[in-house]
Chain A
Amino acid sequence: DAKTTQPPSMDCAEGRAANLPCNHSTISGNEYVYWYRQIHSQGPQYIIHGLKNNETNEMASLIITEDRKSSTLILPHATLRDTAVYYCIVRVLMDSSYKLIFGSGTRLLVRP
């Protein structure tokens, strides 16, 4: 089962920041948080990941709370092409290998 909880849908205006929340209250100390997105029925696309520090790359920023029980993905200037389902995932260790267990995600609609 997924270890994350996300709102089923959100929307934001084009050009504004999109802030997508995620709860992962049962996360263990060495488990990473990953974010992927899926546009229409394309293959999921990696966005960013983090352990405890905030992270930023060319696509987004990831803010993880100090207790690591929640995080927020920030798309600083959302465009129409950012309309997608965003998955927050806690990577778990199973059978000596790391797994991504996808939940239901947040469907983000960017409005013109």
Chain B
Amino acid sequence: DSGVTQTPKHLITATGQRVTLRCSPRSGDLSVYWYQQSLDQGLQFLIQYYNGEERAKGNILERFSAQQFPDLHSELNLSSLELGDSALYFCASSISIGGTNEQFFGPGTRLTVL
């Protein structure tokens, strides 16, 4: 158990819909990262937050957005869903953004878009 929690575990929805994925980092971790893992793309970095502020963006679509709240939990919002958005979404956390701090990954949310 990494200490990172993600909800829900599974999500099934239809094209065009909007969903919200939630992540709670390990106690004390200030940085949160979101990744998408689909069968054909592997693990792709989406976005990073540190202490409530966006720090870096990766391959995140404009239909996707995220935020980190004062209690440090984070939400990833996916809208106008398409079939290709079906994937595993992982959240990871680390103490800071520098140094050699490793990232601890949550168990993921499996999103299925029908």
Q: Which residues of B come within 8 Å of A, CB atoms?
A: 2, 4, 35, 37, 42-45, 48, 50, 55-58, 88, 90, 92, 97-98, 100, 102-108, 110
Contact = CB atoms under 8 A, between A and B. Distances in A.
Which of A42, A87, A96, A103 has the most B CB atoms < 10 Å from its CB?
A42
Interface of A: 32, 34, 41-46, 49, 87, 94-105
Contact of A99 (B42, B45, B100, B108): B45
A98 B55 CA distance: 10
Nearest to B94: A98
A58 to B, nearest CB: 14
Contacts of B108: 41-43
Q: Nearest 5 pairs between A and B by C-beta?
A: A43-B105, A102-B43, A95-B56, A46-B102, A97-B97
A94 B100 contact: no
Contacts of A44: 43, 90, 92, 105
A79 to B, nearest CB: 19
Contact of A95 (B57, B92, B106, B110): B57
B102 A104 contact: no
Contacts of A104: 42
A41 B2 contact: no
Given A44-B43, A103-B42, A96 B55 contact: yes
A32 to B, nearest CB: 6
Given A43-B107, A95-B57, 17 more contacts: A41-B88, A42-B107, A43-B2, A43-B90, A43-B105, A43-B108, A44-B43, A45-B105, A46-B104, A95-B56, A96-B56, A97-B50, A97-B55, A98-B97, A98-B98, A100-B103, A102-B42
